[in-house]
């Protein structure tokens, strides 16, 4: 994998075939005991340590949905135009009409919705 690529992860957690189904109770217990951690609503890390930057970006994109893309400062960092700054939020942009659901204040995700195009608002392109 090239250094600038994000890890390829599925939105569904895959466990070895010998592992039992993870119930909500098990998930809550593992998060409460800090064996696993909830990164965003519906996105969990099956590790107790801090996530490396590519894993955090992947978690943010999984939470944001299939049409999300890295934007603003985060995109500049990934294109190596800016030095990575882990104190800054992960910037995600969604297409016009998609929901940008806010996270708790202590999360590291800053979402925006792109402006509509002329066709989307009923006008003609310039």
- Domain limits, the chain: 24-113
Confidence of residue 117 (pLDDT cuts 50, 70, 90): low
Q: Is pLDDT larger for residue 109 or for residue 56?
A: 56
In this prediction, residue 32 carries a pLDDT of: 92
- 101-123 mean pLDDT: 61
Least Cα distance to 68 among 1, 4, 6 occurs for: 6
Residue 121 has pLDDT above 80, yes or no: no
Three-state secondary-structure class, residue 18: coil
| Stretch 88-115: mean pLDDT | 68
pTM score above 0.85: no
Distance of CA 18 to the CA centre of its chain: 29
The residue with greater pLDDT, 45 or 17, is 45
CA atoms within 13 A on the CB side of 24: 1
Asked whether 56 and 77 are in contact (CB, 8 A), the reply is no
pLDDT higher than threshold 60 for residue 16: no
Average pLDDT estimate for 36-64? 85
């Amino acid at each position: 994998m090239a250094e600038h690529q994000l890890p390829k992860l599925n939105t569904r957690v895959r466990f070895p075939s010998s592992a039992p189904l993870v119930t909500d109770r098990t998930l809550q217990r593992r998060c409460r005991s800090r064996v696993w951690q909830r990164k965003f609503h519906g996105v969990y890390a099956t590790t107790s340590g801090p996530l490396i930057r590519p894993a955090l970006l992947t978690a943010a994109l999984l939470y944001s949905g299939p049409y999300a893309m890295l934007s603003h400062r985060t995109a500049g960092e990934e294109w190596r135009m800016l030095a990575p700054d882990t104190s800054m939020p992960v910037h995600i942009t969604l297409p016009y009409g998609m929901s940008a659901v806010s996270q708790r204040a202590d999360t590291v995700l800053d979402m925006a919705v792109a402006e509509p195009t002329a066709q989307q608002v009923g006008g003609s392109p310039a």
